[in-house]
Amino acid sequence: MVLKYLFLSVAFFCTGFLCSGHGEEKEAAVIPSGEPALRSVSVADTLAGPIPGLQDSLQRAAKLHGNYQFAEALQIYSRLVEEVSDSLQLLEVEDAAILTQNSINMMDFCSSPVVVAKQKFPVRDFFLFYPLPDASWRPVPNQLDTAGNGSIVKAMYVPEDSETIYYSVQDENGIRNICKTEKLDSVWSVPELLGENMTTSSDEVFPMLSSDGKALYFSSKGLYGIGGYDLYVSYWDEDQNEWGLPVNMGFPYSSPYDDFLYIDSPDGKYSMFASNRECTADSVYIYVLEYDSTPVRKAVENPEELKNLSLLNPIEDISRLDNGSIVDQNRNEQDGMDDYAVKLNVVRAITDTLNACAIQIDEARAQLQTESEEAEKSKWVTFISEKEELLPVLQDSLNKVRLQVQDLEMKFLMEGFSFDPESIQRDAEKEIVGASSSYTFTKNNMGDTLVMTVLQPEPKFDYSFKILPEGCFAEDNQLPEGLVYQIQMFASSRKATVKNLKGLSPVFERKKNNSTYIYSVGVFRSYKDVLEKLNKVKRCGFRSAFITAFMDGKPISVKAARTAEKNVRHLYTIRIFPTDGQSLSDSELALVKTLSSSDLVKSTSGGAISYLLGPFDNKKEADKILSMMKTGGLSNVTMESSVQK
């Protein structure tokens, strides 16, 4: 049975499972290549179905799962798998069962961190209480995240001196995945997905890079999990030059609830993350743990013990506590600074009142012009008069307070004090939480709205194989150079319409002779890829569809194509034509060198001077560089491809 097979798969591949979020990377649990990763779904998502008794059973199983009684929950799911006949409901039950089996497997790899503190905060701004640089969280939506403000994602972490930004963003289907963009002089690179390992069919949120840049922590609903958002860590693979397979951090970091935003504190003393495991939907707890580079893992078999472990209650050993560790060290205690901060607040308040009063006068004058009744006119005249009398009083108060501020600043300068008025103002407004307990949380300020120039990929026709609500003809019927496979759908004596395509895209039209049109779909570079799509085309109604092959646009047999495929290598080169027809300017050369370290060779052909950059094995990489060149001002650039056999 399908469910039994899935359980066996999970149990087998968990033998190397790693729950650690610290220290050296160890062997991680993996899903074999070609198999889909187990989808982490909220058990609450399965509470649907018209079958009598099904909803009660699912609710009972979900409650058991949330109470860490995974074995009992699994018994219910296993029984439901035998009873449910509706295919959609069966899939929901199997998903919930897999989630529960995952949780059972992870009970063998639990750690027992030393908990220093936990504090509840509103979900709207909990991230501001992390010991991170002030004003490093930026509001969303913004240029990178145009959707923004999801149920959990309320801001984006972008410190002032960022050179690379990792962030979570919604795709066209509303799924959040992790992207990155890098600073290129005065512009930012075209955002790109972080990698296949971290791009799933569900959400990934709150990516946070370790201080040494070797570990990336994030939360996901789409990876091997326990329930809701789980915490994961991925380590940078120097050999592969990419992020490695994400590893679930396990109990008690991950739980059946939503767990997210993990960091190790900058001072190296603590690890921190947030969770709603003990909260309502509008709040979260922040847990503060002693940093442990080599956590000890052990099996926890008792559900009650596991539940208590996951509550992460702080220790009562006073000798191990350090309540001054994360108190804002920038708070200035110099004599007179508090008074200075208060007066700055008064200046701001009076200025805001003055501005509001001026706006009210302008609005009242506009309203006066529209009134026809004398009584109403008289009311507006009186209102305007009262406000105008208030203006000089407010201005006089503002001038007096400004003189007091200037006197204090002069005093500080005479006594040799160094101060930043804006910084003092921000510090004066910070909220302090837990000052009388084992750990002090300081609330940071939100940062300014992102203002940045982000390169955008050139809009172009998507030649990837798709089945859409409405099919699409290829923008250009010319096949690219090199080896290409296609799936021939049908031949017709008349030109086909979009309706005839049955949702397939991209469809190429070729006229075989004066009376026959041939229609084929897709551009595939390998036999394996085209074979995987053949049955999909047949299921769309083209039962006689078959595979064809081309080399440099000319038809060849599929057998010859498969033989040639073993020896074909596609290369891509970018040709740059100088603006003055002779040489690239210093700024143009700087842009090219910034975008790529590949060789740049001068070429003269037919009397025209150009520069060749490359070659590149990866067309996607070459396309990206070409797009960034055009955005950066190199408009006369082209892509050339060749086949190396």
Contact between 484 and 556 under an 8 Å Cβ cutoff? The reply is: no
Closest CA to 18 of 258, 295, 384: 295
pLDDT band at 25 (very low <50, low <70, confident <90, very high): very low
Q: b/e for 298-327, b at 16 or more Cβ within 10 A?
A: eebeebeebbebbebebeeeeeebebebbb
Query: Which runs of E-coded beta strand occur in 186-255?
Result: 187-188, 192-193, 204-209, 215-220, 230-237, 242-243, 247-248
3-class secondary structure, 49: coil
| Tokens coding 19 | 């729950």
At 149 the pLDDT is 67
Q: Would you state the pLDDT for residue 329?
A: 41
Return the closest-CA partner of residue 246 out of 560, 524, 468, 29.
29
Give the amino acid at 598. S
- What's the rounded Cα separation, in Å, for the pair 233 and 210? 10
Higher pLDDT, 199 or 474: 474
pLDDT at 632 over 90: no
For the cut 80, the answer to whether the pLDDT of residue 424 exceeds it is no
3-state secondary structure of 329: coil
Please tell me the predicted confidence (pLDDT) of residue 342. Answer: 64
For residue range 129-168, list pLDDT tens digits in order. Answer: 999 999 999 999 888 988 876 778 999 999 998 999 999 9
The pLDDT mean for the chain works out to: 81
Asked if the model's pLDDT at residue 97 lies above 50, the reply is yes
- 547, 534 contact by CB (below 8 A): yes
Does 401 have pLDDT greater than 50?
yes
Residue 324: is its pLDDT beyond 70?
no
The mean pLDDT value for 415-435 works out to 62
Distance from the Cα of residue 425 to its chain's centroid: 33
Between 331 and 349, the more confident residue is: 349
Given a cut of 90, whether residue 289 has pLDDT beyond it is yes
* pLDDT higher than threshold 70 for residue 311: yes
Question: Quick one: tokens of 635?
Answer: 């408009």
Of 609 and 239, more confident: 239
Q: Vertex 278, ends 155 and 440: CA angle to 5°?
A: 65
Determine the 3-state secondary structure of 298 from DSSP: strand
Label residue 220 by pLDDT band (50, 70, 90). very high
> Under DSSP, is residue 183 helix (H, G, I), strand (E, B) or coil?
strand
Spatial neighbors of 464 by CB under 8 A, at least 6 apart, are: none
Compute CA distances 84 → 53, 60, 134, whole Å: 11, 16, 54
What's the mean pLDDT in 102-118?
A: 94
Specify the higher pLDDT residue, 35 or 88: 88
- Give pLDDT, residue 333: 44
**pLDDT value of position 52:** 56
Q: Is the pLDDT of residue 5 over 60?
A: no
* pLDDT value of residue 481: 82
pLDDT of residue 322: 54
Tokens representing 538? 């047949």
Give me the helix-helix angle, 337-370 and 421-429, nearest 10°: 90
Residue 443 vs residue 305, higher pLDDT: 305
pLDDT of residue 512: 82
pLDDT for 88 equals: 78
Digit-coded pLDDT (tens) for 354-370: 887 888 888 888 888 88
For the segment 388-412, the average pLDDT, to the nearest whole number, is 82
Q: What is the pTM of this model?
A: 0.57
State how far the Cα of 473 lies from the Cα of 10, in Å rounded to an integer. Answer: 43
**pLDDT at residue 317 in the model:** 60
Question: Which of 43-57, 101-115, 307-321, 592-606 shows the lowest mean pLDDT across its residues?
Answer: 43-57
By C-alpha distance, which of 235, 413, 439 is closest to 323?
439
pLDDT at 332: 44
Residues near 32 by beta carbon (within 8 Å), at least 6 away in sequence: 13
Confidence tier at 240 by pLDDT (50, 70, 90): confident
Q: CA-to-CA distance for 227 and 116, rounded, in angstroms? A: 25
Taking only the tens place, the pLDDT of each residue in 534-585 is 999 999 999 999 999 999 899 999 999 998 887 766 678 888 887 766 778 8
User: pLDDT digit string (tens) for 253-284?
Assistant: 999 999 999 999 888 889 999 999 999 888 99
- Average pLDDT on 241-253 reads 93
What one-letter code names the amino acid at 198?
A: M
